[in-house]
Structure 1
Amino acid sequence: MNPLGWAGYGAQLGRARSKTGGDESVSWERRGDAVAISFDFRFLGGSVGTATGDLIEEAFTEAGAEGLPVVSVIATGGSRMQEGMASLRQLQRISGLCARHAEVGLPHVSVLCDPTTGGIWASLGAGADVVLAVPGAQVGFAGSRVRPEADLDDPAYTSEGQFAAGAVDLVVEPAELGGVLGALLPLLMGGDLRPASVPRVLGATDLPADGWSAVERARDPRRPRAQAYLDDYFSARVPFSGDRAGGVDPGMLCGIGLHEGRSVVYAAQTGTANTPAGFRTASRVVRLAERLGLPVLTLVDTPGAANDAAAERAGVGPAIAELFGTLAAARVPVTTLVVGEGGSGGALALASPDQTWIAPDAYFSVIAPELAAAILKRDPAQVRATADQLKLRPQDLVELGVVRGIAGP
Structure 2
Amino acid sequence: MAERLTAREAIAALTDGFTELPAPAGDTDGDGPLGWTGYADSRARAAARTGERESVVHGTATVGGHPCVLLSFEFGFLGGSLGQRTGDRLEAAYEEAIARRLPLVSLVATGGSRMQEGMIALTQLQRVARASARLRAAGPAQLAVLRDPTTGGGWATLGAGADVILAVPGAQIGFAGSRVRPPGADPAAYTAEGQLAAGSVDAVVAPGELPAVVGRWLGLLTRGDTPPSPAPVPAALAATDPPETGWDAVLRARAADRPRAGSYLDAYFDARLPLSGDRCGGTDPGLLCGFGVREGRAVAYVAQCGTATRPAGYRTAARVIRLADRLGVPVLTLVDTPGAANDAEAERAGAGAAIADAFAAVAAARVPVTTLVIGEGGSGGALALAAPDNTHVTPDSYFSVIAPELAAAILKRSPVRVRETADQLRLRPQDLVELGVARSVAGPRADGRRA
Shorter-normalised TM range? over 0.9
Q: In the aligned structure 2, how far is the partner of 1:367 from the partner of 1:389?
A: 12
Verify the 8 A CA contact 2:289 2:301 in the aligned structure 1: yes
Higher mean C-alpha displacement, 125-134 vs 326-335: 326-335
Verify the 8 A CA contact 2:239 2:443 in the aligned structure 1: no
Matched, 1:108 2:108: no
Q: In the aligned structure 1, how far is the partner of 2:357 from the partner of 2:69?
A: 33
**Paired position in structure 1 for 2:221:** 188
> Helix, strand or coil: the match of 1:167?
coil
Q: In the aligned structure 2, how far is the partner of 1:204 from the partner of 1:309?
A: 39
Q: In the aligned structure 2, how far is the partner of 1:190 from the partner of 1:296?
A: 13
Q: In the aligned structure 2, how far is the partner of 1:331 from the partner of 1:221?
A: 36
Q: In the aligned structure 2, how far is the partner of 1:164 from the partner of 1:53?
A: 31
**Paired position in structure 2 for 1:154:** 187
Q: In the aligned structure 2, how far is the partner of 1:325 from the partner of 1:282?
A: 11
**Paired position in structure 2 for 1:62:** 96
2:361 equivalent among 326, 331, 334? 326
Matched, 1:244 2:274: no
Matched, 1:7 2:41: no
Matched, 1:376 2:406: no
**Deviation of the 1:386 alpha carbon:** 0.8
Q: In the aligned structure 1, how far is the partner of 2:153 from the partner of 2:99?
A: 27
Q: In the aligned structure 1, how far is the partner of 2:149 from the partner of 2:187?
A: 15
5+ long unaligned stretches in structure 1: none
**Paired position in structure 2 for 1:265:** 300
Verify the 8 A CA contact 2:261 2:334 in the aligned structure 1: yes
TM-score, normalised with respect to structure 1: 0.99
**Paired position in structure 2 for 1:26:** 56
Verify the 8 A CA contact 2:151 2:172 in the aligned structure 1: yes
Deviations 1:53-79 (A, max 9, x none): 111111112111111111000010000
Q: In the aligned structure 2, how far is the partner of 1:344 from the partner of 1:362?
A: 13
Q: Which residues of 2 match residues 208-223 of structure 1 at below 5 A?
A: 208-223=243-258
> Helix, strand or coil: the match of 1:346?
helix
Amino acid corresponding to residue 189 of structure 1 in structure 2: T
**Deviation of the 1:96 alpha carbon:** 0.9
> Helix, strand or coil: the match of 1:224?
coil
2:259 equivalent among 206, 224, 229? 224
**Paired position in structure 2 for 1:79:** 113
Q: In the aligned structure 2, how far is the partner of 1:297 from the partner of 1:105?
A: 21
**Paired position in structure 1 for 2:5:** none
Deviations 1:315-368 (A, max 9, x none): 101111111111111111100000000000000000001110001110000011
**Deviation of the 1:291 alpha carbon:** 1.2
Q: In the aligned structure 1, how far is the partner of 2:143 from the partner of 2:205?
A: 13
- Computed over aligned residues only, the root mean square deviation of the Cα atoms, in angstroms, reads 0.8
1:132 equivalent among 166, 173, 181? 166
Q: In the aligned structure 2, how far is the partner of 1:310 from the partner of 1:60?
A: 40
Q: In the aligned structure 2, how far is the partner of 1:302 from the partner of 1:97?
A: 40
Matched, 1:175 2:233: no
**Paired position in structure 1 for 2:12:** none
Q: In the aligned structure 2, how far is the partner of 1:83 from the partner of 1:14?
A: 16
The ranges of structure 1 where at least 4 consecutive aligned residues each deviate by more than 4 angstroms after the TM superposition are none
5+ long unaligned stretches in structure 2: 1-27, 445-451
Deviations 1:207-231 (A, max 9, x none): 1111111001101111110000011
> Helix, strand or coil: the match of 1:405?
coil
Q: In the aligned structure 2, how far is the partner of 1:81 from the partner of 1:217?
A: 63
**Deviation of the 1:191 alpha carbon:** 1.5
Deviations 1:258-296 (A, max 9, x none): 011111111000000011000111011011011111111
1:253 equivalent among 285, 288, 294? 288
> Helix, strand or coil: the match of 1:135?
coil
Amino acid corresponding to residue 132 of structure 1 in structure 2: L
> Helix, strand or coil: the match of 1:406?
coil
**Paired position in structure 2 for 1:163:** 196
**Deviation of the 1:154 alpha carbon:** 2.4
**Deviation of the 1:204 alpha carbon:** 2.9
Q: In the aligned structure 1, how far is the partner of 2:88 from the partner of 2:238?
A: 56
> Helix, strand or coil: the match of 1:281?
helix
Q: In the aligned structure 2, how far is the partner of 1:35 from the partner of 1:227?
A: 34
TM-score, normalised with respect to structure 2: 0.90
**Deviation of the 1:205 alpha carbon:** 3.1
Q: In the aligned structure 2, how far is the partner of 1:99 from the partner of 1:4?
A: 29
Matched, 1:314 2:344: no
Q: In the aligned structure 2, how far is the partner of 1:29 from the partner of 1:105?
A: 19
Q: In the aligned structure 2, how far is the partner of 1:191 from the partner of 1:260?
A: 13
**Paired position in structure 2 for 1:94:** 128
**Paired position in structure 2 for 1:281:** 316
> Helix, strand or coil: the match of 2:184?
helix
